[in-house]
Structure 1
């Protein structure tokens, strides 16, 4: 029995391009775009930084799991850009795999540091950015191994990443003869 995909789920460490790639994928495929962190902020009426500061990471991860489950239950075609830590819980990995096609975006440490060093909105990067990125990459070394597709974005532009994902998606879900296939909005 083959899996039925309603969602393309982008996972990966912060700074690997999930948000940018999700925008372009949604535009090119005609899917809805959902950013998990943005959905959490709308629901909670607070920023991710505020949630971390007021409730701590454990409470944030609980909220993150709830919102992810709600999004994954939707039957519509969507691109979901997750936060870098959404894969830390087994239940999240299971729901992503059960209901979506999971693409892991990766990048080397130097590229990630260059991309996120000035971003003050990331609560896990408070203080020594280089040290935190290195430490988190080490602890999450295998966290994205469950993905259906892995792409290293270190030396690719957003358009190149999107093109590679679309090509793989089209091989996975070929368009039926009537032209109204699984790649369109339903």
Structure 2
């Protein structure tokens, strides 16, 4: 094992497969699946789009950091993060310190095909294709700190899972 914490952290843009691959990894390892966005919703008591709208992105990011730090102290977990969890330096340091970080990537076309015009994704409002391309460019190097990067375009969640576990188990 690569980490004494036994936590696999999945990072990457929305639509790269973090939740889906996370579920497959949890099944394969027997670890519990933690979905950071779901944990934030549970803590806040209302959906992320509402959190963004009413409290603003800064408040959301503060909550995200707090919940992330708690989740990273739960060994035997697969942690699927939100796409923007890497935007704070502290979050990246915490992930590296307490988990084994895997960045999932995908082409803009793949992401748009997967998430489309999802109204539950505040950052995609107004033209998914253009927004996804802009976000990919903006976050081009945001995921570079990961221990492993896996492109999920055109691969089944099982195949991606197997690839991750092959590296994780060394």
Q: What interval of TM-score do these two structures reach, taking the shorter chain for normalisation?
A: over 0.9
Q: C-alpha displacement at 1:3, in angstroms?
A: 4.6
Partner of 1:12: 12
Partner of 2:149: 150
When Rg is computed on C-alpha atoms for both structures, the one with the higher figure is: 1
Query: 1: CA distance between counterparts of 2:11 and 2:159?
Result: 17
Partner of 2:62: 62
Count of residue pairs brought into register by the alignment: 169
Gaps of 5+ in 1: 172-186
Partner of 1:141: 140
Deviation >6 Å, runs of 4+: none
Query: 2: CA distance between counterparts of 1:54 and 1:79?
Result: 30
Partner of 1:79: 78
Query: 1: CA distance between counterparts of 2:6 and 2:97?
Result: 10
Partner of 2:163: 164
Query: 2: CA distance between counterparts of 1:148 and 1:28?
Result: 20
The answer to whether structure 1 residue 88 and structure 2 residue 87 are counterparts is yes
Partner of 1:47: 47
Secondary structure of the 2:56 match is: helix
Secondary structure of the 1:118 match is: coil
Deviations 1:68-118 (A, max 9, x none): 0111122x2100000000000000000000000000000011111111113
Query: 1: CA distance between counterparts of 2:73 and 2:84?
Result: 20
Query: 2: CA distance between counterparts of 1:65 and 1:107?
Result: 25
Q: TM-score with structure 2 length normalisation?
A: 0.96
CA RMSD of aligned residues (A): 1.0
Gaps of 5+ in 2: none
* Bigger Cα displacement from structure 2, 126-135 vs 145-154: 126-135
Secondary structure of the 1:162 match is: helix
Query: 1: CA distance between counterparts of 2:106 and 2:19?
Result: 14
